[in-house]
Structure 1
Amino acid sequence: MMYLKRLLLFLFVVIADAALFAQVKLPALVADNMVLQQNAKVNLWGWASPNEKITIRLGWTNLPVAITADAKGNWKTAVDTPLAGEKPYDITINASNTIVLKNVLIGEVWLCSGQSNMFFPVGREDKTWKTGVKNYEEEVKNASYPNIRLFTVGLNASPIPLEEVTGSWKMCTPESIQTFSAVAYFFGRELYQKLQVPIGLISTSWGGTKAEAWTAQNVLEEDVAFLPILQEDAKNEKLYQEKLETYYLNLTNERIASAENALKGQLKKPKKELNKTSYVLYNAMLHPLVNYTIKGAIWYQGESNSGKAYLYRTLFPAMVRSWRAEWNEGNFPFYYVQITPHKGQNAEIREAQLISLKTIPNSGMVVTTDIGDAQNIHPIDKQTVGYRLALIARAKTYGENKLVYSGPIFNHMKIKKQKVQLFFDYTESGLKKNGEVLKEFEIAGNDQVFYPADAKIEGKTIVVSASKVKEPVAVRFAWKAVPEPNLFNNDNLPASPFRTDDWEIRTDRK
């Protein structure tokens, strides 16, 4: 692997140097139709000849910005943006050539990432997705929001950090929304309708991928907890290293001949072999985005890490830290989805995500136990997911302080003889059950054997008991791969699965 990295780095330097004397170029993200974060310092950047002088004129101010490219031709500057508005602007960049960026809006920018449930598109143009979202024909027909802008990062993987992605900004139309992330769109649509400001959505996701693929290399290598992940990668590396070396050597002449492609840094391993390997998606699909100022991020992933759910408790927060460190915008909002019930999943990964609420600052979690599909790991109700993510953003990011954005979250319990009383957060409006009796509660004594429990709502608490458990010590709720719980708060948001014990579970040992 080290040989391949050195070869890649050498090739990149050689052909990038050859491209430095070209005209001023911009990354794919800095383009027509983009949305820039309002009332912020945002970066504009690109490449030019060494030491080339560049003048930037911003449509919202009469003051030009003058900068000079460095000795390698790289340039970057931070500019102030105004408050959001529907008025489009032009940005003119003058150097040896002139580039005019048109139809630029100022608003709110969100990064949207994860695996297939984030990638899942609104429509069904792609034959891979047989259904589209719920009511997809109606959703597509009504998706005319010219002030919502969409950018989908092209699939790519790399063993070294890249500087560019493929993709383009598009206005939200029935045509463009067909293949765009459904969760991201419904999240953005809700924000647009409530905030009435332009919304920019950057979708960077890939089905079947693990969190470690989206985490920076140094973060994985500096924590001994992640050694098993790197060891597993090393084993897999041996299986295809020879094939990869041949692949890269065959690309050498083509890459040297094409300064354009070199500048974009698209030196790829075969995608199918790489997309589950550590840090390669971070390198190719996140690192190139870090100059772009964002408001926050939404995330829908976890299915591919369920086999090592205990490790996910550490890995997931580490991944978020690595993003925040790269963007250097502080603890920007990070809101995510707890995975939905499915026969191939387990309760432990949902617990890891629940625990992460406390270990990831400025975070929020959407519970989806009421909208899953036991037979389909890609449930089609993406509208509810996007809406609930937007609820969190509206409350925590945009100041709707009285808005309830979470269902009941277990806080603590009290043992009262043969009964256990459970206390929750986010129950100010009270608790309710959808159905005649509360389901999915279990109770156990010191023998660690769980029995179905009778559960009753008492005020803003739940009281559980079972005739077979005389001295209860632990309670579990919705603790299975496909639970069917029916506990909600009166704001119609479902309670998260939980357990009160810390007994060893099967993913502890993996």
Structure 2
Amino acid sequence: MKYSLFLATLLSGGLLHADVKLPAVFSDHLVLQRDKPVAVWGTADAGEAVTVTFGGQSKQATAGADGAWKVALDALKASAEPTELKVKGKNEVVFKDILVGEVWVCSGQSNMEWTVDKAVNPEQEIPAAHHPKIRLFSVPKAVANEPLKDIAQRPSWQVCSPDTVKSFSAVGYFFGRELNKALDVPIGLINTSWGGTRAEAWTSKPALEAVPSCNAIITAWDEFLKTYNLEKAKADYETATKATKEKIEKIKAENAKPGATQQPVPGAPRPFENQQTTQHRPAVLFNGMVAPIVPYTVKGAIWYQGESNQQRAVQYQTLMPTLIADWRKQWGDELSFYIVQLAGFGNGRTWPQPVGAADTWAELQWAQLQTALRVKKSGVAVANDIGEEKDIHPRNKQEVGRRLALQALVKDYKKKDYQPNGISGGPIFGGASVTGNKIVVSWSNVGGGLAARDGGELKGFIIAGEDKVWKPAKARVVGKQIHVSSEEVKNPVAVRYAWTAWCPEANLINKEGFPASLFRSDKWELSTEGVDSPFAAPKPVVAPAPAPAVPAAKPAEKEAPKALPKAA
């Protein structure tokens, strides 16, 4: 009896009442997307009436049996006038200093996560970052087996300032700064990125399951985890770590001897990862770091990722479009999507490599270009000219952000006058035809014409005949085409450009100054063809020797896949 009276008291006193609540992506200082219906959603008591008020609009909804409610504000005009967003049910929630402009998601792995304080000239960039019309939101790292409805840590939107920008995505910030400068409207940037992660982790499980080559990733993980022994994995890791540390100390000791030839010192072992909970598993980052911000209304996404998928580059030609289609479905909107093509990088090899050697980095760059060409409302920012041979994280994020912004400014915002000839990027391979002993290459995105960056001869082209033996080639501009030939290849059938991870000599640009993407005219097998499992390595594909008298080139040693589960 006493218990029943106590329970009745609780109920009548409202102590079990569920206040109106919105997800963490709503806070003071946020930016709402202009020119689209704006989603506002949250939870309340089942059946509770909720009213959302903003900018003279008032929209109502009733919470369902599960407590969820959602409204759509009518499309808003851009405004830098701070306004309150009010949400009222049995209680009232008020968000202050709300602006209306352009909102973009910034996602990928470490090169997107890379912060402003680690980019070029942080001592100049950070103090100058007083941009009250730019707002920043960072999604904390989180792994989840099912899609989350909210972010547990509940971060807040931040006004861009020297204090807030230094730890924000450099590519995201420089992209947003360029948009703010060109459009003169508020910019909201949502950073959801995690270094070393793979595209499949950022894609929902149903989307992966619907595509055979992507579902193969799920199948491979299921099979791997059936026999995964955590204790054995830890023991193997400790043994391998001890051996690596001993090797490092030995090399350092040898290098310290007078007159010793300096040997490269291996990097320190990575921390142990439990593969049952790792962030590399399919869909877990979509669940933990994308789902909680859906369906927050945005214009589109910028994407810098691919390094961790290079061992399955051909699969990436399907995986990346799958991710884009998935995100568009989740948001219920055909979001614009702009990709950074991987920058030039030595990829742990000794350069130069044999001409035409298999190259997973180049194959991934090609997959990124194919995605941009095949998927509508997308594009690619080529960065092969601003990479660093010894560092997978090139510091010039300013130029990367600028090139991404130009994609959006020309394609989304129709700012064709922002760039000469309305060009948003470099020359794109348009086709090749054989004429006698040369191959004629056609291009799109030529702009004011084709040229060599340094004003000299074009470099970075290779050519091959039916024997698939690649040779360095001479190339010259003829109008809006390039003629490629080699005295060593009398009957050419295929041409490639910049087809190596590290190709600093590649110098083709348009006269607007943008670098050309790598390309290939052939359809010969690539080293990552048919590799769909994250636990498998590419097979070497090496060009045959031109004649028996010439010794066969030794296949380039394939780099072991980075951070793959069976290395744990």
Give the TM-score normalised by structure 1.
0.86
The offset of 1:226, in angstroms, is 2.0
1:323 to 319, 324, 327: 327
Seen in structure 2, the aligned counterparts of structure 1 residues 241 and 150 have a Cα distance that, compared at 3 Å, is farther
2: CA distance, partners of 1:72 / 1:332 = 29
Distance of 1:291 and 1:191 partners within structure 2: 23
Which of 511, 516, 523 lines up with 1:490 in the alignment?
A: 511
Q: What is the TM-score of this pair, normalised by structure 2?
A: 0.78
Whether 1:392 and 2:407 are equivalent positions in the alignment is yes
Q: Which runs of 4 or more aligned residues in structure 1 lie more than 6 Å from their structure 2 counterparts after TM superposition? A: 269-272
Structure 1 counterpart of 2:565: none
In the aligned structure 1, how far is the partner of 2:295 from the partner of 2:145? Answer: 20
> One-letter code of the match for 2:403?
R
The corresponding residue for 2:197 is 209
Q: Among 31, 35, 43, which residue is 1:35 paired with?
A: 31
Unmatched tracts of structure 1, length 5 or more: 1-18, 124-131, 244-268
Amino acid at match of 1:386: G
Of residues 342-351 and 191-200 in structure 1, the stretch that sits farther from structure 2 once superposed is 342-351
User: What does residue 457 of structure 1 align with?
Assistant: 477
1:68 alignment partner, one of 62, 70, 91: 62
Cα deviation per residue 1:310-331 (whole Å; 9 max; x = unaligned)?
Answer: 10011110110000011001x2
Residue 300 of structure 2 is aligned with which of 296, 299, 305?
296
Secondary structure class of the residue paired with 1:274: coil
> Given residue 397 of structure 2, which amino acid in structure 1 is its aligned partner?
K
Deviation string, structure 1 residues 379-430 (Cα, Å, up to 9, x no partner) = 0000000000000100000012352101011101221211111111011300
CA distance in 1, matches of 2:105, 2:215: 29
Secondary structure of the corresponding residue to residue 310 of structure 1: helix
Partners in 1 of 2:399 and 2:150 — Cα distance? 33
**1:466 alignment partner in structure 2:** 486
Structure 2 CA distance for aligned equivalents of residues 180 and 335 of structure 1? 19
Tell whether the 8 Å contact from 1:81 to 1:106 is kept in structure 2 after alignment: no
Alignment of 1:366-405 (within 5 A): 366-401=381-416, 402-405=421-424
Match of 2:281 among 277, 280, 283: 277
Matched, 1:161 2:147: yes
CA distance in 1, matches of 2:130, 2:447: 37
Q: Is the 8 A contact 1:122 1:181 kept in 2?
A: yes
1: CA distance between counterparts of 2:398 and 2:171?
7
Equivalent pair of 2:315/2:530 in contact (CA under 8 Å): no
The one-letter code of the counterpart of 2:27 is: A
Q: Is the 8 A contact 2:433 2:441 kept in 1?
A: yes
- The question of whether the paired residues in 1 share the 8 Å contact of 2:339 and 2:372 is answered with no
| Aligned residue number for residue 445 of structure 1 | 465
| CA RMSD of superposed structures (Å) | 1.8
Residues 477-503 of structure 1: CA distance to partner in whole angstroms, max 9, x if unpaired?
Answer: 011111121110000000000110010
Give the Cα–Cα distance (whole angstroms) in 2 for the partners of residues 241 and 168 of structure 1: 39
Residue identity opposite 1:370 in structure 2: D
- Which letter maps to 1:465? S
1:434 to 453, 477, 480: 453
Q: How does 1:119-158 map to 2 (within 5 A)?
A: 119-123=113-117, 132-158=118-144
Residue 464 of structure 1, CA deviation: 1.1
- Report how far residue 343 of structure 1 moved: 2.2
Following superposition, the deviation at residue 235 of structure 1 comes to: 3.7
- Number of the residue aligned with 1:118: 112
Amino acid at match of 1:499: R
SS at match of 1:78: strand
Contact 2:463–2:496 (8 Å) recurs in 1:
yes
Distance in 2, matches of 1:412 and 1:76, equals 49
2:80 is the alignment partner of 1:80: no
Shift of 1:45: 0.9
Distance, in Å, in 1 between the alignment partners of 2:310 and 2:230 is 31
**What is aligned with 1:180?**
168
Measure how far apart 1:239 and its partner are: 5.9
State the partner residue of 1:261.
none
* Identity fraction in percent: 43
2:296 aligned counterpart, secondary structure: coil
Q: How far apart are residue 271 of structure 1 and its match?
A: 9.7
Change (3 A) 1:92 1:241: farther
Query: Quick one: structure 1 residues 162 and 486, their matched pair in 2 at CA, closer, same or farther if it must change by over 3 Å?
Result: same
Q: What are the superposed Cα offsets for residues 110-161 of structure 1, whole Å, 9 maximum, x if unpaired?
A: 11111110010101xxxxxxxx100111000100101100000010011111
- Asked if 2 retains the 8 angstrom alpha-carbon contact of 1:20 and 1:50, the reply is no
Q: CA deviation at 1:53?
A: 1.7
- How many residue pairs align between the two structures? 456
Report if the CA contact (8 A) 1:148-1:192 is conserved.
yes
